[in-house]
Amino acid sequence: MKKIKADIKAKSESKYKKIPVYDPKTGEKIDEIIETPVKEIKNIFQKLTEGQKEWASYGLKRRKIKILKIKESILVNIDEIVNLISKDTGKSKTDVIMSEIYPVISTIDTFVKRAERYLSDKEINLKNKLTINKKSYVAYMPKGPVAVISPWNYPFQIPFREIILNLLAGNSVLLKGSPETLLVSLKIEEIIRFAGIDDNIFQNVLGGKEAGEEITKYPWKHITFTGSVEVGKRIMAKAAENLTSVTLELGGKDPMIVLEDADLERAANGAIFNGCFISGQSCAAVERIYVSNKVKEKFIKMLVDKAKKLRSYIEYPSDYDIGPITTKFQYDKILAHLREASKKAKILTGGLPQKGLAGWYIPPTVVVNVNHSMKLMKEETFGPILPVMGVSSIQEAIDLANDSDYGLNASIWTKNHSLAKKIASKLEAGTVLINDHLYTQAVSRAPWLGIKKSGIGVSHGAWGPRSMAQLKHINYDVLPLKRDLWWFPSSANKYDAFKSYIKKDFWRKPAIMLKFIKEFLLLFRKF
Ligand code: NAD
């Protein structure tokens, strides 16, 4: 670890371009990090392409040993890592341990234990009389060098989990974290080096848009991107030039539907937590609430009371519920949404922060009298803002929930599970939760995906490591015959044999009956 720190220091004293590091709690610049020169990216791609072959040749067992060293390094240095992530993002230490450290440790544990189950060869039953002499299996092969491009809101867990799954699958990895949270990216690199994974297998590119544009020029075997819809589209277009596959985990505008029979205390606690956790800077935060008109007033009052009780970092610097917004541009965007909405909507608590407060603080905010003409209800806000609309029917709630370009998470709050499941089937979202929201992103065995503009592909669960691997189908003979049935020569006998096989095996009885009835009726009409 010491060597890497020395390298970073040496670099920071050189003439390279530097990226500033800000403290979100004060808004002040606290450090600067040397950018990776864009012209180095070509060499990095080549190095990772070569290095991947060796990493793949290790096999699952040896790769797992290295990955377990990553876990060891995190666990030994847990407080130091938590403090660093908290400093770079402004999140409280509790938020960091829950949403950054726990998912990484759990991912390593889950996938190291289940790697064989997910990635070893699987026989396929071909169930075909013609191929009775054939057997098949699928293998999950390493893909090659891959790129992981990630955002600032979960700068540790999002890239780290993707890196782990790719390493496990036998790929070499380039990481490009967000330029807003480079202290965390450097920490990831340090941890990976501690595990004995060298720069033939893992590389950390420090940079922003320009570095991202350069990375996506190269023929990676896969790009896992987490970030905004706009950049996701751009990356997909660039990847198409090399036919590189992509996983895109993009933005969200998650709806929460509260039915009249909901446990309102749980629903209000759930709205406050899932809307304001890490100051609402989660892709799957509650961003819109649709509540039955029958319980609306009571529910809103509960929300306002609970929002007022949340503790901010300004009053409680070492133990807070609401931290600052991590980046200045996100802070400005949230304020713009609030300003636009406040021309017609009513802010019941929170709202625009008082002038002169330290850092990029936005208080927990409850807004009513909102509608879908406002950005606050249609675009991703990414702040601790809870806009609430009353609805007079379940159908109205479903229609409003689906009136969005996004489809990441959605939730339904009710005591009636069978009704909730029916509603869930109609909601356009990758994940629908009943009486909860958001948390499954951290659960390693659950799939994570967005539909509509929220993404393409699935990470985590059995789907995660498999989507990082290259599926290969292998087929072989059981007995060594001189030729297969369908090989040359063509003949009338072969034609008849195939016809009778097709008719016997694939012509289902109901279809024959239907044809017979149709012909009979036609005949009948003629007389
Ligand atoms: P962003 O799209 O601005 O940036 C993401 C990454 O892409 C950064 O590393 C950035 O430097 C890089 N980048 C920017 N322009 C690029 C280009 N032209 N080519 C290649 N790379 C480029 O997103 P952000 O502001 O860092 O993150 C917030 C967004 O991420 C939100 O929309 C949020 O919903 C989304 N997000 C989604 C999930 C999910 O699981 N679906 C999880 C976390 C965050």
Per-residue HEC secondary structure of 206-244 comes to CCCHHHHHHHCCCCCCEEEEECCHHHHHHHHHHHHHCCC
In this prediction, residue 510 carries a pLDDT of 65
Proportion of the chain above pLDDT 70, given as a percent: 94
236 residue type, one letter: M
Claim to verify: residue 35 and residue 156 sit in the same structural domain: yes
Claim to verify: residue 231 and residue 261 sit in the same structural domain: no
CA distance 103 to 83: 17
User: Per the structure, how many domains does the chain have?
Assistant: 3
Q: pLDDT class for 516, splitting at 50, 70, 90?
A: low
Buried b (16+ CB within 10 A) or exposed e, 66-78: bbebbbebbeebe
Ligand 1 lined by 163 (C-beta under 6 Å): no
Q: pLDDT class for 16, splitting at 50, 70, 90?
A: confident
DSSP helix, strand, coil percent of the chain (3-state; round to 5): 50, 20, 35
The residues annotated as belonging to the active site are 249, 283
Ligand 1 lined by 47 (C-beta under 6 Å): no
Question: Reading across the β-sheet that carries 365-368, which strands appear in turn?
Answer: 346-349, 365-368, 385-391, 286-292, 254-258, 409-413, 431-434
Buried b (16+ CB within 10 A) or exposed e, 90-118: bbbbebbbbbbbebbbbbbebbbebbeeb
Q: pLDDT class for 1, splitting at 50, 70, 90?
A: very low
Claim to verify: residue 268 and residue 158 sit in the same structural domain: no
Residue 153 φ/ψ, nearest 5 degrees: -75, -30
Which residue's C-alpha comes closest to atom 20 of ligand 1?
212
Residue 452 lies in a domain: no
The answer to whether 264 touches 302, Cβ cutoff 8 Å, is: yes
Structure-token pair, residue 368: 């009513």
Element (H, E) at 113: helix 102-119
Claim to verify: residue 246 and residue 268 sit in the same structural domain: no
Which of 229, 231, 325, 329 is the best mutation target for the ligand 1 pocket, counting ligand atoms within 8 Å of the beta carbon and taking the most?
231
Q: Can you tell me which residue has the tokens 């390094």?
A: 73
Q: What is the biggest distance separating any 2 CA atoms in the chain, rounded to whole angstroms?
A: 99
In this prediction, residue 318 carries a pLDDT of 86
What domain range includes position 506?
488-527
In this prediction, residue 129 carries a pLDDT of 81
Residue 129 lies in a domain: yes
Question: What value, to the nearest 5°, has the Cα angle with vertex 55 and ends 54 and 61?
Answer: 125
What average pLDDT does the segment 363-376 reach?
98
Residue 448 lies in a domain: no
Claim to verify: residue 9 and residue 73 sit in the same structural domain: yes
Ligand 1 lined by 19 (C-beta under 6 Å): no
Residue 203 φ/ψ, nearest 5 degrees: -135, 145
Proportion of the chain above pLDDT 90, given as a percent: 88
Of 24-38, 126-140, 257-271, minimum mean pLDDT range: 126-140
Residues 6+ apart with CB under 8 A from 404: 253, 255, 378, 428, 452
Claim to verify: residue 76 and residue 207 sit in the same structural domain: yes
Claim to verify: residue 401 and residue 499 sit in the same structural domain: no
What's the CA dihedral at 393, 397, 402, 408 to 10 degrees?
-150
What's the CA dihedral at 338, 340, 344, 346 to 10 degrees?
10
Question: What value, to the nearest 5°, has the Cα angle with vertex 400 and ends 397 and 405?
Answer: 140
Claim to verify: residue 107 and residue 92 sit in the same structural domain: yes
Q: pLDDT class for 11, splitting at 50, 70, 90?
A: low
The answer to whether 384 touches 337, Cβ cutoff 8 Å, is: no
Distance 408 CA to ligand 1 centre (A): 15
Is residue 525 pLDDT above 70, yes or no? no
Structure-token pair, residue 432: 């629908």
What average pLDDT does the segment 379-396 reach?
98
The answer to whether 85 touches 96, Cβ cutoff 8 Å, is: yes
Distance 79 CA to ligand 1 centre (A): 27
Element (H, E) at 431: strand 431-434
Is residue 13 pLDDT above 80, yes or no? no
Q: pLDDT class for 503, splitting at 50, 70, 90?
A: confident
Q: What is the mean pLDDT of the chain?
A: 94
Distance 157 CA to ligand 1 centre (A): 14
Residue 480 lies in a domain: no
Claim to verify: residue 267 and residue 237 sit in the same structural domain: no
Residue 334 φ/ψ, nearest 5 degrees: -60, -45
Claim to verify: residue 16 and residue 152 sit in the same structural domain: yes
In this prediction, residue 526 carries a pLDDT of 57
Claim to verify: residue 345 and residue 294 sit in the same structural domain: yes
Q: pLDDT class for 59, splitting at 50, 70, 90?
A: very high
- Could you report the per-residue pLDDT of 400-436, keeping only the tens digit for each? 999 999 999 999 999 999 999 999 999 999 999 999 9
**pTM (2 decimals)?**
0.93
Ligand 1 lined by 184 (C-beta under 6 Å): no
In this prediction, residue 427 carries a pLDDT of 98
Residue 449 lies in a domain: no
What average pLDDT does the segment 20-32 reach?
96
In this prediction, residue 509 carries a pLDDT of 65
Residue 479 lies in a domain: no
Residues 6+ apart with CB under 8 A from 91: 85, 99, 100, 278, 323, 326
Reading phi first (left if > 0) and then psi (alpha if -120 to 50, else beta), residue 223 is in beta
CA distance 148 to 163: 7
Higher local confidence (pLDDT), 176 or 9: 176
Distance 63 CA to ligand 1 centre (A): 29
Ligand 1 lined by 406 (C-beta under 6 Å): no
Ligand 1 lined by 145 (C-beta under 6 Å): no
Using DSSP's 3-state secondary structure scheme, residue 157 falls into helix
Q: Residue 322 has what DSSP assignment?
A: B
In this prediction, residue 294 carries a pLDDT of 98
Residue 243 belongs to domain with CATH number: 3.40.605.10
Closest ligand 1 atom to 208 CA: 11
Residues 6+ apart with CB under 8 A from 235: 149, 212, 216, 223, 225, 246, 248
Ligand 1 lined by 206 (C-beta under 6 Å): no
Higher local confidence (pLDDT), 166 or 526: 166
Other C-beta atoms within 10 Å of 448: how many? 25
Q: Can you tell me which residue has the tokens 């060293």?
A: 69
Residue 21 lies in a domain: yes
Q: pLDDT class for 81, splitting at 50, 70, 90?
A: very high
Residue 358 lies in a domain: yes
Distance 42 CA to ligand 1 centre (A): 22
- Could you report the per-residue pLDDT of 340-368, keeping only the tens digit for each? 999 999 999 999 998 888 899 999 999 99
Cα–Cα separations (whole angstroms), residue 70 to 57, 67, 75, 122, 441: 20, 5, 9, 29, 21
Claim to verify: residue 406 and residue 284 sit in the same structural domain: yes
Is residue 488 pLDDT above 60, yes or no? yes
In this prediction, residue 6 carries a pLDDT of 47
